[in-house]
Amino acid sequence: MDRDSAAKKMGRLKAEISRHNELYYQKAEPVITDVEYDALERELSALENQFPDLAVTDSPTREVGSDRDANFPSVAHSRPMLSLQNSYELAEVEAFDQRVRKELRSAADEEGSVYSLEPKMDGVALAVRYKDGRLFLGLTRGDGRHGDDVTANARTFREIPLDLEPGWQDVFPGPEVRMFEARGEAFLTFSRFQALNLEREAAGQDSLANPRNATAGTLKTLDVDEVRRRELSVFFYQLFPLYPEDPDKQQTADGNLEFSDHFSEMKALETLGLPVNPFLKKASQISGIEAILKELETQRPHLDYQIDGVVIKVADRKSQLKLGATAKAPRWGLAFKFAAEEAVTLLRDITLQVGRTGVITPVAELEPVELAGTTVSRATLHNWAEMERKDIRIGDRVVVVKGGDIIPKVLRVLKEHRNGKERLLAAPGVCPVCGHTTGQQDNEVALRCLNPLCPAVVAGRLRHFASRNACDIDGLGDRSIELFLELGLIRGPADLFGLDPAVLSELPGWGEKSAQRLVLGLEQARRRPWSAKIFALGISQVGVSTALTLARHYPDIDRLREATAGDLADLPDIGPIVGETVVAFLSSSAGGTMIDDLKAAGFFLDEELLPPPELAYQGETWFGGKVFVLTGTLERMKRTEAKEAIENLGGKVTGSVSKRTDVLVAGAKSGSKLVKAEQLGIEVVDEEQFELLLAEAQKTVAENDG
């Protein structure tokens, strides 16, 4: 693959992975399996290794996906909250063990390293902090560096003590502890999940999709009483003291040397009264590891909570420190994922769904079959390229899997069962909903309805506009949207603000109270945070985090519409592809009309509720106000560390060199970015110069803060 083709491919992969991160972390609506997601990441990582000068600092291969939500305050993590590397084959577990043995020089040791093995919960990461024995903070994973403050919701967990028993400090054998943090996984038991769905069905509400999605949505619910009613559970797996007032002590604490190994850490959690998973095993040989993997997979169907694999950790703390971590995952741990359960059934038909962006998705209508504890009758086929690759036809016998116990999909076709009556489904030339022509956007395999007024597109856009991370409109559900569209009361988001309460109160299933509730919800939507309003527009590839970035740099809709693709490309975590997508939407006929109508309805304000700026030093340093690009290999610090240091000193880091770039930090093996910077006359510093400038600036900060 040549360099230009690689750049385009990397851009497409980055956008695709970012989209799936948004669906998984922010919307709790994944559409692909973990295996498929990891395959995308590996493909991008391979290209980054082949073309290192094209790699960007905000690549999803180097950062944890983000569940940040503008509705909740952001709090810095005490240390990065990383994820684990996934594995799907026993050979990968063996390779992990061999690497650990080699790096710890224990290959000759007959016993090898001792590993801890415990269930990999399919839930949502949660951290809690205690001070003087009292719970004072609850945090989500967020982007791994900052999490969302969900303290009020964390206090509703029955298993999490609000106050600890006297003598709790005795579990920490190190220096006196006043504050500590425990990390774990929040989840919803199967029994509670089923009970909630029965309650919702009786109340005429939509069912919750699955326990993991329900947990994610519940943790980000603003109604604390509703969170308490849902009765979330949690298992903790990590514990460490905090010494914010004493950096020397904290350095020791960061190594977790207070606990000699993971087993003593888990015992300490249990002694504190924090719940831990009862399944915890140890092994030092591959044969022992494999036996435990099989044991837990056998127990899996009988558990009252959802697991999707086994977490394997080097138990010894000093060994963990020696092995270290990448920017995204610790090198002393591995998540072994169980194979998805399979079933064989008949593909009766293929129907077409049109989403809010116009994407037409083929859906397999199946002979109902039991799979992973539920009845599956439908499965996504993704797109026509995927159908062609698998040669899927109506009437086929197919193998269906439920990846991660969540997403039914057709894995493969049993072609030996064909009788010649099977039928191919051609890609439609017209939209199945509105009859308008279809087409594909640049570099996309997805087929779209090109009519911005397609009823399916309008309905999807309205659902997105009203969703929790967008306008969070109380009283406006899917059924109401469908009813309003069917009656011709609305044609787009702006029409919502003109609905007549008197007319609403006369609708089937409505009344004066329901109408007033919706009117109040719409009025509150006008006062939503500016970033939530940007997200509500439904711009392709603009998730919650990207909307937050745009809101920090453009304080109102008019100034955002004036931005060029080049302006946006220089913003952190956006880049040229997303920048072009945003400008294309804002300047399109459909996007422009939608925004004009919302302005006329009073949705956009002259003074929007702006997000707080990212925490950074506000004094004068060499870094303040400058735009940096990092390229090549930094040998003494990670790119993420350099990026964070620059931003903390008031600078900005972007992924591409342009006329707006002030400084290029050039590591070893710098490529085209260095050439371009020299052509544009941009200041270039090597790693040694960068470290000297960084040390000088940090000294200035320390002196001023002191």
Q: Which CATH architecture best describes the domain 342-439?
A: Beta Barrel (2.40)
Residue-level pLDDT at 58: 57
Phi, psi (degrees; rounded to nearest 5) at 421 = -95, -5
C-alpha span between 212 and 231 (Å, rounded): 14
Higher-scoring residue by pLDDT: 116, 376: 116
Q: How confident is the model at residue 85 (pLDDT cuts 50, 70, 90)?
A: confident
pLDDT, tens digit, 9 for 90 and up, residues 202-254: 766 667 777 888 898 888 888 888 899 999 999 999 999 988 766 566 555 55
Q: What is the token pair recorded at 134? A: 């009292």
Task: Please tell me the distance from the alpha carbon of residue 412 to that of residue 266, in angstroms, as a whole number.
Answer: 42
SS3 446: coil
Burial class (CB in 10 A: 0-12, 13-18, 19+), 615: exposed
CA–CA gap between residue 342 and residue 402 (Å, rounded)? 7
Strands 115-121 and 281-283 come out as: antiparallel
Q: Which residue has the higher pLDDT, 17 or 433?
A: 433
Residue 681 Cα distances to 296, 662, 672, 678, 688, angstroms: 60, 9, 14, 5, 20
**Nearest alpha-carbon partner for 657 in 672, 636, 641:** 672
Structure tokens, 238: 């990590």
* Angle (deg, nearest 10), helices 3-21 and 34-50: 150
3-state class (DSSP) for residue 298: helix
Q: What is the chain's length?
A: 706
Q: Mean pLDDT highest for which of 186-195, 242-251, 407-416?
A: 186-195
- What amino acid occupies position 684? V
Residue pair 282/289 in contact (Cβ under 8 Å)? The answer is no
Angle at 686 between CA 683 and CA 691, to 5 degrees: 105
pLDDT in tens, 120-161: 998 999 999 999 999 999 999 888 888 889 999 999 999 999
Which DSSP helix (H) or strand (E) runs through 359? strand 359-371
Does 327 or 574 have the greater pLDDT score? 574
* Strand ranges of the sheet holding 663-666, from the earlier edge strand across to the other edge: 652-654, 627-631, 663-666, 683-686
In angstroms, what is the C-alpha Rg of the chain?
A: 26
Spot the catalytic one: 14, 27, 120, 673: 120
Rounded-to-integer distance, Cα 695 and Cα 701, Å: 10
Residue 222 token pair = 């603003």
E strands of 417-567, at which residues? 438-439, 447-449
C-alpha count within 13 angstroms, C-beta hemisphere, residue 600: 11
Fold of 627-705: Rossmann fold (3.40.50)
Burial class (CB in 10 A: 0-12, 13-18, 19+), 197: middle
Res 598: pLDDT: 95
Q: Across residues 413-436, what is the average pLDDT? A: 93
Q: What is the mean pLDDT of residues 474-495?
A: 88
Q: Where are the domains of the chain?
A: 3-62, 83-337, 342-439, 455-600, 627-705
**Which residues does 110 contact at the CB level (< 8 Å), separation at least 6?**
none
Alpha-carbon distance values, 317 to 173, 241, 397 (Å): 14, 15, 51
Choice between 623 and 126, residue whose per-residue pLDDT is larger: 126
Contact between 632 and 53 under an 8 Å Cβ cutoff? The reply is: yes
Percentage, residues of the chain above pLDDT 90 = 37
CA–CA dist 361, 383 (Å, integer): 6
Q: How far is CA 324 from CA 104, 196, 318, 330, 495, in A?
A: 11, 42, 10, 6, 55
- Establish whether 120 is a catalytic residue: yes
338 versus 69: the higher-pLDDT residue is 338
CA atoms within 13 A on the CB side of 254: 14
pLDDT digits (tens, 9 = 90+) for 425-470: 999 999 999 999 999 876 678 898 988 778 888 888 899 999 878 8
Of 206, 173, 216, 194, residue with least CA distance to 28: 216
Average pLDDT (15-36) is 63
Residue 332: the pLDDT is: 93
User: b/e map of 213-242 (b: 16 or more CB within 10 Å)?
Assistant: bbbbbbbbeeeeeebbebbbbbbbbbbbbb
Say how far apart CA 648 and CA 567 lie, in whole Å. 22
- The continuous run of DSSP H or E covering 523 comes out as helix 512-525
Which of 237-241, 376-380, 544-548, 662-666 shows the lowest mean pLDDT across its residues? 544-548
The dihedrals phi and psi of 439, each to the nearest 5 degrees, come to: -170, 180
Asked if residue 479 has pLDDT above 70, the reply is yes
Q: What does the alpha-carbon distance between residue 621 and residue 486 come to, in Å, rounded to a whole number?
A: 60
Strands (E), 198-355: 233-242, 281-283, 307-314, 333-337, 342-354
DSSP string of 64-77, one letter each residue: ------TTS-EEE-
pLDDT at 118 > cutoff 90 = yes
Q: Using CA atoms of 117, 119, 124, 127 in order, give the dihedral in degrees to the nearest 10.
A: -40
More confident residue, 112 or 500: 500
d(CA 455, CA 453) in angstroms, rounded, equals 6
Q: Give how far Cα 408 sits from Cα of 92, 369, 397, 405, Å.
A: 26, 11, 15, 8
Neighbours of 511 (CB within 10 A): 12
User: What pLDDT is stored for residue 256 in this prediction?
Assistant: 47
- Cβ burial of 509 (10 Å; 0-12, 13-18, 19+) is exposed
Dist CA 370 CA 199 (whole Å): 24
Instruction: Report the alpha-carbon distance of residue 354 to residue 432 in Å, rounded.
Output: 8
Instruction: Tell the residue number behind the tokens 């690689």, with chain if given.
Output: 6
pLDDT at 423 over 80: yes
Contact 147, 77 (CB under 8 A): yes
The tokens describing 197, both together, are: 């769905």
Of 51-55, 481-485, 611-615, the least confident:
611-615
pLDDT, one tens digit per residue, over 270-293 is 999 999 999 999 998 899 999 999
Indicate if the alpha-carbon torsion angle 205, 209, 213, 215 is positive or negative.
positive
Local structure of 162: helix, strand or coil = coil
Q: What is the pLDDT of residues 595-606, one digit of tens each?
A: 999 999 999 998
Assign a CATH topology to domain 455-600: DNA polymerase; domain 1 (1.10.150)
Whether pLDDT at 260 is above 90: no
Do 56 and 44 form a contact (C-beta atoms < 8 A)? no
Nearest alpha-carbon partner for 553 in 539, 537, 534: 534
- For the chain, the average pLDDT equals 84
pLDDT at 47: 78
Cα 118 to Cα 235: distance, rounded to the nearest angstrom: 11
How far apart CA 478 and CA 619 sit, in angstroms, is 49
Select the CATH number that applies to the domain covering 3-62 from these four: 3.30.390.50, 2.30.40.10, 1.10.287.610, 3.30.930.10. Answer: 1.10.287.610
Span 83-337 CATH architecture: 2-Layer Sandwich (3.30)
Give the distance from CA 529 to its chain's centroid.
21
**Comparison of pLDDT for 233 and 46, the residue scoring more:** 233
Token pair listed for 605: 């304000």
Band of pLDDT at residue 64, cut at 50, 70 and 90: low
CA distance 260 to 317: 6
Distance CA(516)–CA(525), nearest Å, equals 14
d(CA 233, CA 694) in angstroms, rounded, equals 44
For 204-249, the DSSP string reads TPPPP--HHHHHHHHHT-S-HHHHHHH--EEEEEEEEEE-TT-HHH
Task: Report yes or no: 162 and 155 within 8 Å, Cβ to Cβ.
Answer: yes
